[in-house]
Chain A
Amino acid sequence: MKRSSLATTVHHECATSRRDFLTRAGAGFGSVALAALAAQQARASHNDDEEDEESPLGPKDPHFKPGATNVIWLFVDGGPSAIDLLDPKPELQKLAGKPLPPSFKRPVTAMGATANTPLLGTQRTFRQYGESGLWLSDWLPHLSKVADELCVVRSCTADAQTHVGAVTQMNTGTMLAGFPSWGAWCLYGLGVDSDELPGYVVMTDNSADPPGGSRAWGTGFMPAVFQGTRLGEGKDPILYLSPAQSISADQQRRKLDFLQQLNKRYAEKRDDDDRLEARVEAYELAFKMQSSAPIAVNIADETEETRKLYGLDNEVTASNGRNCLLARRMVERGVRCVQVYLGCGSLWDAHSDLEGNHSKLCRESDQPVAALLQDLKRRGLLDTTLVVWAGEFGRTPMSESGNGRDHNPFGFSLWMAGGGVKPGLTFGATDEIGLYAIENKVHVHDIHATILHLMGLDHEQLTYPHNGRDERLTIVEGEVMHSILA
């Protein structure tokens, strides 16, 4: 895909007419938050569809008819090797052990020296699967069964060489800290559609943080109301969800009733101020969430067959299996954006022993990920749920430490499935050895533009005023990958 020129992309045209909008926005942060809260509240209190449509409290309408209403982003943390998973390179096998041919531009890589180290062939076997004949390596036996659902993009590029910058860019559009994450943009644009859970939920397969920590699901300059909520384990998946153990349920409810009596009394005398009524609602919703959120994350009611499908019966796959299963439960309950970290804490970062590293991580994630697609499909949710499998970059064809690979932001792969993307498609290409993207190049901004588009949002229209600029997820760039849309 052609990169749009920076110089010609005007990111705040027609701004002079915007004074009044800014006037509203400047004083209206509370109102923005209220809108999101109100959306939750609408779902909580009005089940009558007609009323919902009329109520401005309801979830926001998208810019156009969306391909998907929910996103599950499986974030492959650390940089999975595309040339060992999704992008076979026979030429690389021939050149293995030799230096990078002079016909290739010498890249600046994270570990410097790897620009000069011998090329490393793959030890994987690639085969074509399904009716679409999609290529996958033998590291992905389970995924190969649902190959026809996948849309593989082989020509991704990113700007950052190292993990923090790259993870930050893949989630927020820029390598710098302080910008809202993709999920925050979705909530800002579409509102919240669940009264049991937050609208944007993040899960990790271990207690580590991804590089850069919570900024990957943060809101930067937007109000905190749009941020992702990291689900913890156990009965307290959301911060401060459970009341103290020293308090009985009846006691808690009656205390809340007294509080609400105080709050209503205060609000009734001040009916000019909607924030006060919103506070009453926020407490009701919090109380409701106290009981409904633990149920939403309790997988005890899943059938034996489903548990097996996700690999919950096997300790190797149990952790990712649980998160993938929870992702489906979230989507069922209206959670708009879910992000599941596979190998959280840069575990895919195979600078050495690629075989050992990726074998293990694929064993842990392949079955749960495939199960998620199968399960969504049979429940009729895949049509409206966009599943994205992507890390922050890929890995070089040049070796590192003899048997590992360095970071490769110059050409790497991701796949998408479900909600609005063409199934069974392979889009874009890297060069003969998988170092640079050469055909239908897509940048992180294009990936973001496409995800927003699939959610019914125009990435150029979805702007947020901040310190004199109309900021957007795609900064000043981004083109939708129209060729992969169903």
Chain B
Amino acid sequence: MIASFARSLLAGALSLIGLVALSSVATIASADDFSSGDWPFQPLARPEPPTTQNQDWNRTPVDHFVLHKLEEHKLQPSAEASKLVLLRRATFDLWGLPPTPEQQAAFLADQSIDAFERLIEQLLNSPQYGERWAQFWLDVVRFTESDGFKSDSPRTTAFRYRDYVIKSLNDDLPYDRFIRQQLAGDELEPGNAEAVVATNFLRLYPEDSVASDMRQSWQDILNDVTDVTSLAFMGLTVGCARCHDHKFDPIKQTDFYRLQATFAPMLPQERVIATPPEQTEFDRRTREWEQATTAIRAEMDELVKQHRATIHAEIAETYDAETQAALATPPEQRTTLQQQLCHLCSRYLNRRYGRAHLRLEAPQRARWDELDKQLREFDRLKPEPLPTTTSIVDSEPTAPTTFVLSTGLLRAPNKGQVQSGPPEFLGGAEQVNLVSSAATKAGRRSKLANWLTQPTHPLTARVIVNRIWQQHIGNGIVGTPNDFGAMGQSATHPQLLDWLASELVAKNWQLKHIHRLILTSATYRQSAQVDEEHNPVHAKAMESDEDNKLLWRANRRRLQGESVRDAMLFVAGTANNRMFGPSAKPDLPKALMSSRYAWEPDVLVADRNRRSIYVFVRRNLRYPILAAFDAPDGFNSCAERAETVTVPQSLALFNSSFALDQSREWAGDLLKTHGCNFRTLVANAYSEAYGRQAQGEELDAGEKFIAQQGQVIDKDIDVVPEAALPEPRCNMVTPEQAAAVVDFCHALLNSTEFMYVE
């Protein structure tokens, strides 16, 4: 009954292609065929790669598992893809960029037997690897740089977490340490600034700074953090257990709240990033300024004191009772929960306090303004603020009690207290040494992090290798990377997943090792081409496994939005490769500029043209070109991007000034090099955009288009406007021809081949 409608919708969508009926897929994909029951919850074992009949095909142990399964189903792997196809595939997979003509020439020239292995090594060891691969993790943790909700205030230091992820991947930081730093870097590596930045993972939740029921807001935050932690590291959907025991997985409602208790003492804290001498100098200068301005500030404070108290009272009464009590408690006497509630109120209160002087009567106001002017004269003494990072610490003195909430409702009678600890069905109950007592808060997050990163943990390694597999191959071994439970898809190759997971643990949790194993495999090197008509092997495979669950070929994939944009910048030669730091703010279409969430674009075009990983991520206004190409919403953990084909995508690429500008820049480059030799110009454009040589008829068609389009423009337009001409100008061809080259480039940047990878 449930979902039958959605099922028919999907069935309709598929059968309309006339290729497959749902039932034929079901014969392959039924649960029993591949794995049973709670396999992912069993301790990690290391299976031996199976023997295969065909011994010649295998390159890495990965292939043994894949080929074994294919042979079981009487299928054969596809032929290896051509060198240039592999180069393009690997470069997009690891860098998110197209290979340059130089890279193509070098790779074609390299006849050595391990040319591809060395290519992979080179790609993995470049900074572009981290810039591409950080995105999948940022999707999982629903990274954004703003609060969400009405004000959607920017989080000006959130970029440090994005940079941390890029650096960690480039440094091949062991994944177990990557987890420990994010969950408890403040406790486990207190001297390491990067580890402190990593705790931002726990501060990515949406927050309503003008909410009135702050007690509920805090509970929502804890629920959100509990959900995302579980989804990200364990691939477990504990969200259902917020209200009741999970219907299909062995997750009890108490498990949800035991996990939540881990975060009960946490408190966000803005921390300075500075060396001791920088800090000393800052303190010294601050003292100087303070001493010089003591009297002025005291008088100003005195003037607005009463109004501040009034403002406080006005705002305080709008909050829920617990928050009101917290605000009424002297700061040093506040319980941990009260500190958390006051923290949630603090931003709005401070903003309103800052406007207290607006309420002064005229004479006092004049005095206040005069004092303010005087104070500003001392600004030269005031040091520049030191850079800070948001981080998470555990608040003193004791952890708030965590209750099991009936049907998730905060204020309904609860079902009793729980202590912090991991889910019982994963062995949490026996791991007594990992469980904190209820009263002491210390180290709950460290304990969770240590428990998650035990070498024998059933889920941690399985979940991350599955994510990597999914990014490279197109489908996860478990097709629902955020759901390893019974509601998720069953694994297609559970033994392979276990083997990869055990490899990860054995090789010091280093992710690049997993990339190598996957990318250098024969499985990865297969062609994506299907030829049902002439190839009986394909015909048979299409009949029994049209969805390619058994991996008898490579999957053709659409580029993610970030890669679409980056590839355009890169081909056009406009990409700014500067790494790290505050986010880039690209141009917005005029229609969006009236939105309260619109940003002021960077002044310099070069700053706007940084790679997409550095584009400002605002919850309430996603950069429209990325949004059109299925960027996640920033509220939900996203394990797998949708790959839609839509009209807004076509409009964005065909009509946006961004796409047109890149076409003009690219055309300018091509014309500078090739002048009016349109045939070589077309050839080079093909090579840059598609990573392959153009065929004769393609060169003909390109040349013909440029010639004819030049005539059309000549006929329609008296003087070709600047905005349609290449950048830089080219005086070897007529303006009409130059504009036609822009159109040619624009068409290539819009083309299917440009944004699909085989």
A residues with a Cβ closer than 8 A to B are 6-7, 10, 12-16, 18-35, 37-38, 40, 55-57, 60, 63, 108, 110-113, 161-165, 176-178, 188-189, 198, 207-209, 211-215, 218-221, 223-225, 229, 232, 236, 238-248, 250-251, 254-256, 258-259, 261-263, 266-267, 270, 272-276, 278-280, 282-283, 285-286, 289-290, 457-458, 460-470, 476
| Complex CA–CA separation, A33 to B644 (angstroms) | 5
Contact A468 B3, CB 8 Å, known A239-B624, A267-B752: no
Contact A218 B486, CB 8 Å, known A239-B624, A262-B748, A463-B2: no
**Complex A-B: 8 CB contacts under 8 Å:** A18-B487, A33-B644, A56-B16, A162-B212, A176-B220, A254-B709, A272-B19, A467-B636
Contact A27 B547, CB 8 Å, known A22-B487, A286-B650: yes
- Report yes or no: B149 in contact with A177, Cβ–Cβ below 8 A: yes
Number of A-B contacts (CB under 8 A): 354
- Report yes or no: A209 in contact with B633, Cβ–Cβ below 8 A: no
* B208 / chain A contacts, CB cutoff of 8 Å: 162, 164-165
* B636 / chain A contacts, CB cutoff of 8 Å: 178, 220-221, 466-467
* B149 / chain A contacts, CB cutoff of 8 Å: 164, 177, 212
Interface: B291 (CB within 8 A):
no
Partner of B12, one of A35, A242, A267: A35
* A12 / chain B contacts, CB cutoff of 8 Å: 2, 247-248, 487
- Report yes or no: A254 in contact with B708, Cβ–Cβ below 8 A: yes
- Report yes or no: B621 in contact with A245, Cβ–Cβ below 8 A: no
- Report yes or no: B6 in contact with A25, Cβ–Cβ below 8 A: yes
Partner of B237, one of A35, A278, A467: A467
The 4 A-B pairs of least Cβ separation, nearest first, read: A468-B237, A178-B635, A33-B644, A35-B13
B residues with a Cβ closer than 8 A to A are 1-7, 9-17, 19, 22, 25-26, 29-31, 148-150, 152, 206, 208, 210-213, 220, 231, 237, 239-240, 243-244, 247-249, 317-320, 407, 475, 479-480, 482-483, 485-490, 529-530, 532, 542, 547, 556, 558, 589-592, 594-597, 619-621, 624, 627-628, 630, 633, 635-637, 639-640, 642-652, 654-657, 660, 701, 705, 708-709, 712-713, 715-717, 720-724, 743-744, 746-748, 750-753, 756
* A108 / chain B contacts, CB cutoff of 8 Å: 213, 320
| Complex CA–CA separation, A331 to B489 (angstroms) | 40
Partner of B480, one of A26, A31, A250: A26
- Report yes or no: B6 in contact with A467, Cβ–Cβ below 8 A: no
Contact A29 B620, CB 8 Å, known A240-B651, A467-B231: no
Contact A6 B407, CB 8 Å, known A224-B630, A255-B743, A469-B237: yes
| Complex CA–CA separation, A390 to B475 (angstroms) | 43
* A63 / chain B contacts, CB cutoff of 8 Å: 5
| Complex CA–CA separation, A290 to B705 (angstroms) | 23
| Complex CA–CA separation, A465 to B7 (angstroms) | 11
- Report yes or no: B633 in contact with A221, Cβ–Cβ below 8 A: yes
| Complex CA–CA separation, A476 to B244 (angstroms) | 12
| Complex CA–CA separation, A165 to B207 (angstroms) | 12
Partner of A246, one of B19, B723, B744: B723
* A238 / chain B contacts, CB cutoff of 8 Å: 648, 651
- Report yes or no: A31 in contact with B14, Cβ–Cβ below 8 A: yes
- Report yes or no: A275 in contact with B248, Cβ–Cβ below 8 A: no
- Report yes or no: A240 in contact with B652, Cβ–Cβ below 8 A: yes
| Complex CA–CA separation, A259 to B2 (angstroms) | 42
- Report yes or no: A469 in contact with B529, Cβ–Cβ below 8 A: no
* A16 / chain B contacts, CB cutoff of 8 Å: 248, 486
- Report yes or no: B647 in contact with A289, Cβ–Cβ below 8 A: yes
Chain A residue at smallest Cβ distance from B19? A272
* B483 / chain A contacts, CB cutoff of 8 Å: 467-468
| Complex CA–CA separation, A251 to B740 (angstroms) | 9
* B751 / chain A contacts, CB cutoff of 8 Å: 259, 262-263, 266
- Report yes or no: A7 in contact with B244, Cβ–Cβ below 8 A: yes
* A262 / chain B contacts, CB cutoff of 8 Å: 747-748, 751-753
- Report yes or no: A113 in contact with B651, Cβ–Cβ below 8 A: no
Chain B residue at smallest Cβ distance from A275? B645
Tell me, rounded to whole Å, the shortest Cβ–Cβ distance linking A484 to chain B.
24
Contact A213 B709, CB 8 Å, known A161-B213, A223-B642: no
- Report yes or no: A463 in contact with B6, Cβ–Cβ below 8 A: yes
| Complex CA–CA separation, A250 to B231 (angstroms) | 51
- Report yes or no: A15 in contact with B487, Cβ–Cβ below 8 A: yes
Partner of A282, one of B237, B243, B646: B646
* A214 / chain B contacts, CB cutoff of 8 Å: 620-621
* A461 / chain B contacts, CB cutoff of 8 Å: 1-5
Contact A275 B643, CB 8 Å, known A251-B713, A461-B4, A464-B6: yes
* A476 / chain B contacts, CB cutoff of 8 Å: 243
- Report yes or no: A276 in contact with B640, Cβ–Cβ below 8 A: no
Question: Knowing that A37-B645, A56-B12, A258-B744 are A-B contacts, what are 15 other residue pairs whose CB atoms are under 8 Å apart, sorted by A's residue number?
Answer: A15-B2, A21-B10, A22-B479, A23-B489, A29-B642, A37-B646, A177-B633, A178-B633, A224-B646, A247-B724, A248-B717, A251-B712, A259-B750, A262-B751, A286-B651
Chain B residue at smallest Cβ distance from A22? B489
Tell me, rounded to whole Å, the shortest Cβ–Cβ distance linking B40 to chain A.
13
- Report yes or no: A19 in contact with B644, Cβ–Cβ below 8 A: no
- Report yes or no: B647 in contact with A286, Cβ–Cβ below 8 A: yes
Contact A465 B651, CB 8 Å, known A27-B479, A177-B148, A263-B752: no
* B644 / chain A contacts, CB cutoff of 8 Å: 29-30, 32-34, 223-225
Tell me, rounded to whole Å, the shortest Cβ–Cβ distance linking A301 to chain B.
24
Tell me, rounded to whole Å, the shortest Cβ–Cβ distance linking B314 to chain A.
9
| Complex CA–CA separation, A93 to B592 (angstroms) | 46
Contact A240 B656, CB 8 Å, known A12-B2, A18-B2: yes
